[in-house]
């Protein structure tokens, strides 16, 4: 009996999908653990990173970083502090920082995008994809790892979280978690019927959201490209707050883009 042999393109896409599944599961586990401990991420070791504004002149392509990106866009050089949940966003300043960071990212990871001019740029996923498209084309795989809605209900904080499980290569599944959050930011699980927690319907999620007022939506997404480049980001209310882009041995990371103390580093 003749068997159909998959072409190279199908095998290659299957490979990327399997890589995406594996990384997605790992990130979901790690992000869940980190998020459960008050949404903090441990900064990478300073010895392996080069921060924007502190680069020697003889470090090759990375030397093209501006001397002081934060000063250039008028940001305060204050120590990093805890971010407030509903911290007002200065979108104009965030767009200015994001535009500059795209120029620095191109220098760090070895891209030459036509529109990374350093001008003001909306900090959105579409803007990011547009910046790299001339070099990398469109992503071959794009996924949503998790989404969280922060809300106020009856004088207390509530949190709805959906985590996506890619362990089944045939069909991704979603898992629902519902929390109340104390004044210290520590979540306590609110039990839900088991039949509602796996692959919850949009109508059930909407019913939970009606328990209070949703003031913030956070989302974790990633994208993979033809030659193995990977993009991982966190969005708040549709705007990028944290970003990581890897190309070969180089990685560029930005954190707190929507806050008053954003920072970027090249690894």
Instruction: Judge whether 212 and 190 are in contact, CB under 8 Å.
Output: no
pLDDT reported for residue 113: 76
Block residue for tokens 């920082």:
97
Which tops the pLDDT comparison, 72 or 105? 105
Quick one: pLDDT at residue 115? 66
What pLDDT score was predicted for residue 119? 85
Of residues 11 and 131, the one with the higher pLDDT is 131
Q: Please tell me whether residues 240 and 131 are part of one structural domain.
A: yes
Same domain, 201 and 87: no
**72, 110: one domain:** yes
Question: CA–CA separation, 89 vs 73, rounded Å?
Answer: 15
The answer to whether residue 104 is domain-embedded is yes
Whether 247 is covered by a domain: the verdict is yes
131-183 pLDDT, tens digit per residue, is 999 999 999 999 999 999 999 998 899 999 999 998 887 788 999 999 999 99
Query: What are the pLDDT digits (tens) for 173-223?
Result: 999 999 999 999 999 999 999 999 999 999 999 999 999 999 999 999 999
Residue 223: its pLDDT value, please?
97
Q: Does 3 or 58 have the greater pLDDT score? A: 3
Residues 240, 205, single domain; the answer is no
Higher pLDDT, 210 or 22: 210
Do residues 132 and 241 share a domain? yes
For the segment 25-46, what is each residue's pLDDT rounded down to a tens digit? 554 544 454 444 444 444 444 4
135 and 229 within one domain: yes
pLDDT band at 51 (very low <50, low <70, confident <90, very high): low
Co-location of 185 and 229 in the same domain: no
User: Do residues 58 and 131 both lie within one domain?
Assistant: yes
Instruction: Give the C-alpha distances (Å, rounded to integers) separating 42 from 38, 45, 83, 158, 210.
Output: 12, 9, 14, 25, 34
Q: Which residue has the higher pLDDT, 257 or 72?
A: 257
What's the 3-state SS for the chain?
A: CCCCCCCHHHHHHHHHHHHHHHHHHHHHHHHHHHHHCCCCCCCCCHHHCEECCCCCCCCHHHHHCCCCHHHHCCCCCCCCCCCCCCCCCCHHHHHHHHHHHHHHHHHHHCCCCCCCCCCCCCCCHHHHHHHHHHHHCCCCEEEEEEEEEEEEECCEEEEEEEEEECCCCCCCEEEEEEEEECCCCCEEECCCCHHHHECCCHHHHHHHHCCCEEEEEEEEEEEECCCCCEEEEEEECCEEEEEEEEECCEEEEEECCCCCCCEEEEC
Domain span at residue 160 reads 8-36+150-212
Q: Round to whole Å and give the CA distance between 186 and 179.
A: 9
What is the model's pLDDT at position 18? 55
Residue 240 lies in a domain: yes
pLDDT of residue 153: 92
Residue 107: count other Cβ atoms within 10 Å of its Cβ. 20
Residue 63, token pair as written in the block: 């030397």
- Based on the domain organization, do 50 and 134 belong to the same domain? yes
Does residue 72 belong to any structural domain of this protein? yes
73-129: pLDDT as tens digits: 443 333 333 444 556 889 999 999 999 999 999 999 999 876 667 789 999 999 999
Same domain as 183, residue 113: no
What pLDDT sits at residue 167?
86
pLDDT, tens digit, for every residue of 223-242?
999 999 999 999 999 999 99
Residue 45: per-residue pLDDT = 44
The tokens of 134 are what? Answer: 């001339």
Residue 220 lies in a domain: no
Which pTM value belongs to this model? 0.68
- Answer whether residue 145 is part of any domain: no
Is 199 inside a domain boundary?
yes
In angstroms, rounded to a whole number, what is the distance separating the alpha carbons of residues 241 and 191? 30
Q: How far apart are CA 117 and CA 131, in angstroms?
A: 10
Q: Are residues 56 and 134 in the same domain?
A: yes
Length of the chain equals 267
- On whether residue 169 sits in a domain, the answer given is yes
Structural domain count of the chain: 2
Does residue 155 sit in the same domain as residue 134?
Answer: no
């Amino acid at each position: 009996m003749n068997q159909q042999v998959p072409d190279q393109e199908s095998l290659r896409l299957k490979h990327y999908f399997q890589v995406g599944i594996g990384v997605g599961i790992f990130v979901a586990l790690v992000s869940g653990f980190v998020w459960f401990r008050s949404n903090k991420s441990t900064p990478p070791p300073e010895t392996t990173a080069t921060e924007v504004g502190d680069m020697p002149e003889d470090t090759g392509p990375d030397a093209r970083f501006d001397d002081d990106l934060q000063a250039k866009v008028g940001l305060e050089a204050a120590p990093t502090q805890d971010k407030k949940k509903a911290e007002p966003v200065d979108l104009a300043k965030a767009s200015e920082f994001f535009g500059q960071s795209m120029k620095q990212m191109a220098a760090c990871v070895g891209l030459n995008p036509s529109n990374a001019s350093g001008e003001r740029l909306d900090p959105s996923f579409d803007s990011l994809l547009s910046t790299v498209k001339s070099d990398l084309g469109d992503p071959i795989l794009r996924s949503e790892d998790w989404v969280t809605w922060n809300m106020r209900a009856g004088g207390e904080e509530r949190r709805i979280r959906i985590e996506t499980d890619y362990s089944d290569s045939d069909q991704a599944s979603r898992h629902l978690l519902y929390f109340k959050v104390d004044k210290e930011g520590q979540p306590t699980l609110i039990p839900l019927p088991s039949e509602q927690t796996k692959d919850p319907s949009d109508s059930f999620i909407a019913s939970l959201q009606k328990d209070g007022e949703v003031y913030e939506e956070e989302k974790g997404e990633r994208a993979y490209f033809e030659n193995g480049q990977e993009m991982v980001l966190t969005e708040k209310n549709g705007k990028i707050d944290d970003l990581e882009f890897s190309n070969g041995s180089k990685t560029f990371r930005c954190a707190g883009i929507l806050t008053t103390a954003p920072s970027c580093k090249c690894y």
